[in-house]
Amino acid sequence: MAGYTGIDIGANSVVMVHREGGRNSRAKRFEQTPAGHRALIGELKRLRPQRIVLEATGVYYFDLAVALSEAGLPVAVINPKSFHHFAKLKLNECKTDPVDAALLAEYAECFSPALWEVPESTSLALREIGRQINRLTGARTQAKNRLHALKAKRATPALLIEDEREAIAALDRRIARLTQAAQAYLAQAPELTRQRAHLQAAKGIGEASSLALLAELCVLPAHLSAPQVSRHAGLDVRLWQSGSSVDKPGRLSKAGNAYLRAALYMPALSAVQHDPYARAFYEALQRRGKKKIQALCAVMRKYLTGLWACLKLDQPFDSAKLFSTVHFQNS
């Protein structure tokens, strides 16, 4: 193998740049079609790069990443925010497809990121359904808020209230239909069904939240460590310290999976009320000066660590193994 390849993803086409011996090739453009993917694969097999890097850009990267992986090519899919910071580090002021492809090739040369693994089709379908349920649930919450505002005004025509109620009922039907579809996929996958039961052993995780969490966790590579999963969710803490003049409080990076963070929020909120170990940990952090939201985010991160462990070990969630008994004894 020789050199590194960067591929910039677009809706209709992709741009490839190959880097070898510190020099970049001319950019080549391929269509975002099966035929275009086949032509790109043929070119990559001729070049035999050590690593092919592309960004997880919207929905457009996935089919190409699958095609490259199935062709036996060493493809890596990276977080767009990671690449954005790399471009800033290189003091790059241009934003074109060939420039981005060349920078991705240089990123591959510098970091040689881990190879991408194609998730199983059932897991992918479950993730897409879970995300759609998340979006519809958000839309239903907005509709309920609008209905509340309409009913609070005396001048609101009855037609508007009826219309909003019909919209909420329609969203309820769509969410129920998708939830039933998710159950059908789970029925075909005993391992996923068992993993969902492990998640539901945790306080605060019920039918809806276990589906949302499993939909995001089941597509992750099994070799990831707990800190890597936390970074994937954007729950890692970013410190701001420099010399003696800059010492800001640490903040969540949020440079990760927003669906996973959202799915963890309500379970963590419930856990600090109903799980004695989580509550003791939460209260101990507040006694040390942490704000409530900071302590809650720490519980979210802890919970995610425990959930990931129970999936990897094929064991039910047990908060007694996750939180230190020191906090519980001192509460």
Q: Where are the alpha helices (DSSP H) in 55-205?
A: 62-70, 80-89, 97-111, 121-151, 158-187, 190-200
**pLDDT number for residue 245:** 47
Q: Where are the alpha helices (DSSP H) in 18-90?
A: 34-47, 62-70, 80-89
| Half-sphere exposure at residue 248, Cβ-oriented, CA atoms within 13 angstroms | 7
Alpha carbon 297 to its chain centroid, in Å, reads 16
Tokens representing 287 are 């006694």
Taking the C-alpha atoms of residue 87 and residue 68, their distance in angstroms, rounded to an integer, is: 25
**pLDDT number for residue 24:** 93
**pLDDT number for residue 324:** 74
Taking the C-alpha atoms of residue 164 and residue 166, their distance in angstroms, rounded to an integer, is: 5
Q: How far is CA 252 from CA 235, 240, 313, in A?
A: 6, 11, 27
Q: Of how many residues is the chain composed?
A: 331
Q: How far is CA 35 from CA 3, 11, 13, 30, 32, in A?
A: 25, 15, 12, 9, 8
**Residue 29, strand partner residues:** 15
Where do the structural domains in the chain lie, given as residue ranges? 4-111, 121-188, 192-240+251-331
At residue 87, φ and ψ (nearest 5 deg) are: -65, -40
CATH class assigned to 4-111 = alpha beta
Do residues 113 and 52 lie in contact, with contact meaning Cβ atoms separated by under 8 Å? no
Contacts of 55 (CB under 8 A, 6+ apart): 8, 9, 61, 77, 78, 79, 80, 83, 104
Q: Give the predicted TM-score (pTM) of the model.
A: 0.76
Do residues 147 and 165 lie in contact, with contact meaning Cβ atoms separated by under 8 Å? yes
**pLDDT number for residue 327:** 57
> What interhelical angle do 158-187 and 121-151 show, nearest 10?
160
Helix (H/G/I), strand (E/B), else coil: 2: coil
Helix (H/G/I), strand (E/B), else coil: 25: coil
pLDDT along the chain (331 residues), means of 10: 89 93 93 93 95 85 89 91 82 81 93 88 92 95 96 93 97 97 94 95 94 93 84 72 50 74 94 94 92 92 94 93 70 53
Do residues 107 and 53 lie in contact, with contact meaning Cβ atoms separated by under 8 Å? yes
Taking the C-alpha atoms of residue 109 and residue 107, their distance in angstroms, rounded to an integer, is: 5
**pLDDT number for residue 118:** 86
**Residue 8, strand partner residues:** 15
Contacts of 247 (CB under 8 A, 6+ apart): 240, 241
Tokens representing 164 are 């909003």
